[in-house]
Structure 1
Amino acid sequence: MPSVSNKGLSMPESPIRKLVPFAEKAYKQNKKVYHLNIGQPDIKSPQVAMDAVSLHSLDILAYTRSEGSEEYRKKIANYYKANNINVAHDDIIVTTGGSEALLFAMGSIADVGDEVIIPEPFYANYNGFATASGVKIVPVISKIENNFALPPISEFEKLITSKTKAILICNPGNPTGYLYSKEEIQKLAKVVKKHDLFLVADEVYREFTYDGVEHYSILQEEDLAENGIIIDSVSKRYSMCGARIGCLVSKNKQVINTALKFAQARLSPPTFAQIASEAALKTPQSYFDDVIVEYKERRDTLIKLITAIPGVKIGTPKGAFYCIVELPVKDSDAFAQWLLEDFEYEGETIMVAPAAGFYSSPGVGKNQVRIAYVLNIESLTKAVKILRLALEAYKD
């Protein structure tokens, strides 16, 4: 029988989605499942974006340019300028989600066997993108005890070799919610300049920051023009995950020209989704103001309820809408599956994302889960109550 590739065999399962069959089984048992496992906001997408698609005047659903329509890219550049990020439309390639932007970035800056340093825990799909690109992730561990702050720069420099091509961060972070300060960004900028590396920043949660702290982008550092690459997406910003529109942004022309070849190979990003995403740029600031108030209330509620559970630790997120929670269990994978298969309270249970998949270091994060606080306050409160009762009942 023909065999599949070693690359395919080594592709990691998604810690976010691999428990779906057990959730489906729970549905068939008429259980209600509260989804704390996936960053699918329950916030409505902007009406202006939905209207743009329903009211379109296209006669033919044609290809767009491989780098995305020029009009849309000019409007994206204006959005960045409003956020103190000075880029032009030809510094931008529109992609099929932030995922494709990450793949284009890895393909453009690294060869098979090259290394990218990433603070962990990190967005689980970085493992998959690295495997698909033949790139080795070199982790530098951040810890829940200091709220997943940036590790000392000396820890990064210990890991830099002739194979190192980039440092990759997510800011604000998924899965930790950590928000890098301006000073931390400047420290990273200094080290990539010193060692002639790229600094890749996944900034898809830029709008979601709390406690009066503003997001600071890597491309606000003017001397990172040749070293900086931003990964971005409309998915979370406008609650438009299904649009699958993102972008890669860099002032390094060689990076853009190289990424464009990858974009040409997949032809073009989806036309309707670009129409919706272009219209979404008209979303008023009041939309984001309301969303931030809502997410901050959810965050504060979650932290209050979680910290009241004996033996549980939680990192306090300063951005995005995720946090890492450390549980008094040996194996969060087994616990997450047990929640769906064997536990219920008044016909309800919860689904969480085991955190080991957000690390590349073997054995780390085994007693942690990622929680996405994308549910309304009432549902979030019920979900944490179920978690507390489940931990009381669970036998490791």
Structure 2
Amino acid sequence: MPTISLKGKNMPESPIRKLVPYAENAKKKGIEVFHLNIGQPDIKTPEVALNAIKNNTIKVLEYSRSEGSETYRQKIANYYEKYNIHVSATDIIVTTGGSEALLFAIGSITDPGDEIIIPEPFYANYNGFSTASSVSIVPVISKIENNFALPPISEFEKLITPKTKAILICNPNNPTGYLYSREEIEKLAEIVKKHDLFLIADEVYREFVYDNVQHQSVLNNFGLDNHAIIIDSVSKRYSMCGARIGCIVSKNKEVISTALKFAQARLSPPTFAQIASEAALETPQSYFNEVTVEYKKRRDILIEELSKIEGVKVANPRGAFYCVVELPVDNADKFAQWLLEDFNLNNQTVMVAPAAGFYSTKGIGTKQVRIAYVLKKEDLIRSVEILKAALIKYNA
């Protein structure tokens, strides 16, 4: 019998999606499942984006340019200008989601066996992207005890080898909601320039920051024109996860010309989704103001309710719409499956994402879960009530 590749065998399951069959079975039994496991916002997609598709008169759905349409890329550049990020349309390649942007970035700067340093916990698919690219993740562990702050630069220095090609951060962070300060980005800028590395920043949650602080992009005047690569996406910004449109941004011309070859190999990003995404750039600032206020309210009530449960430890996010919670359980994977298979409270249960999949270090995060506060406040309160009851029964 033909054999599966070692790469295929090593490809990790998604901690976010692997429990879906159990959730579906619970629903078939008539149990309502509150989805705290996935960052699918319930915020409405801007009408301007939906109308661009509804009112379109395209007669032939053609390929677009491999790098994305010129008008869309120019408008993306204009969008960045509002955030003091000075780039041109030629510094941008439109991709099929932020996921493809990451794959293009990794493919452009690494060879098999190379290493990328990433503070963990991190977005779980970084594990999959590195496996697909035959690249090793070298983790720097951040801890819930200090709210997942950036580890000391000395910890990064210890891990740099001749195989190190980049440091990758997610800012604001998925899954922790941690927001990097300007001082922390300055420290990272210093180390990548000293060791001639790339600094890849996944900035898809840029708009969602709280507590009167400001997001710091790696292209906000840190002197990283040759080192910085931004990964971006419309998915969360405009509640357009299904559009699958993202982009890779860099002022390093060699990075962009190399990424373009990967883009040409997959032909082009989806045309209709680009039309919707281009229109979405006309979304008024009031939309983001309202969404940010709503997410802050959700965060505050979620943290408040979780903090009432004995034995629960929760980090306080300052961006995105996730938090990592440490539970008084033997194993979060086992507990998350049990919630869906064997527990309900008045025919309701919750689905969470076990956090071990957000680490590359084995044995770390085994009692933690990621919770996405993308549900309305009433549902979040009810979800925590269910979680509290579940913990009591599970530990009885």
- Does the alignment reach a TM-score above 0.5? yes
Query: What runs of 5+ residues in structure 1 fail to find an aligned partner?
Result: none
The match for 1:159 is: 159
Three-state SS of the structure 2 residue aligned to 1:218 is coil
Check whether the contact 1:186–1:221 (CA below 8 A) recurs between aligned residues: no
Three-state SS of the structure 1 residue aligned to 2:274 is helix
Check whether the contact 1:311–1:327 (CA below 8 A) recurs between aligned residues: yes
How far did residue 221 of structure 1 move? 2.6
Three-state SS of the structure 1 residue aligned to 2:93 is strand
Distance in 1 separating the partners of 2:61 and 2:179: 40
The match for 1:127 is: 127
How far did residue 312 of structure 1 move? 0.3
The match for 1:257 is: 257
The match for 1:102 is: 102
Distance in 2 separating the partners of 1:86 and 1:135: 31
- Residues 284-338 of structure 1 show CA distances to partners (whole Å, capped at 9, x for unaligned) of 0000000001000000000000000000000000000000000001110000000
- Residues 164-205 of structure 1 show CA distances to partners (whole Å, capped at 9, x for unaligned) of 000000000000000000110010000000000000000000
The match for 2:321 is: 321
- Residues 208-266 of structure 1 show CA distances to partners (whole Å, capped at 9, x for unaligned) of 00000010100013510000000000000000000000000000000000000000000
Alignment of 1:287-298 (within 5 A): 287-298=287-298
Three-state SS of the structure 1 residue aligned to 2:223 is helix
The match for 1:381 is: 381
Aligned residues: 396
The match for 1:90 is: 90
Three-state SS of the structure 1 residue aligned to 2:248 is strand
Are 1:177 and 2:177 counterparts? yes
Are 1:73 and 2:73 counterparts? yes
Distance in 1 separating the partners of 2:296 and 2:308: 19
Distance in 2 separating the partners of 1:330 and 1:275: 48
The match for 1:61 is: 61
Distance in 1 separating the partners of 2:152 and 2:296: 29
Check whether the contact 2:120–2:139 (CA below 8 A) recurs between aligned residues: yes
Distance in 2 separating the partners of 1:390 and 1:330: 14
Distance in 2 separating the partners of 1:346 and 1:284: 42
Distance in 1 separating the partners of 2:222 and 2:147: 29
The match for 1:114 is: 114
- Residues 316-362 of structure 1 show CA distances to partners (whole Å, capped at 9, x for unaligned) of 00000000000001110000000000000010000000000000000
Distance in 2 separating the partners of 1:98 and 1:221: 23
Distance in 2 separating the partners of 1:390 and 1:207: 34
Distance in 2 separating the partners of 1:237 and 1:145: 29
Query: What runs of 5+ residues in structure 2 fail to find an aligned partner?
Result: none
Are 1:305 and 2:301 counterparts? no
Three-state SS of the structure 2 residue aligned to 1:309 is coil
Are 1:342 and 2:346 counterparts? no
The match for 2:242 is: 242
The match for 2:147 is: 147
The match for 1:286 is: 286
Three-state SS of the structure 1 residue aligned to 2:72 is helix
Q: Percent identity?
A: 72
Distance in 2 separating the partners of 1:88 and 1:182: 24
Three-state SS of the structure 2 residue aligned to 1:292 is helix
Three-state SS of the structure 2 residue aligned to 1:328 is coil
How far did residue 100 of structure 1 move? 0.1
Three-state SS of the structure 1 residue aligned to 2:42 is coil
TM-score using structure 2 length: 1.00
Q: 1:222 to 1:146 in 2, by over 3 A?
A: closer
Are 1:269 and 2:269 counterparts? yes
Alignment of 1:181-220 (within 5 A): 181-220=181-220
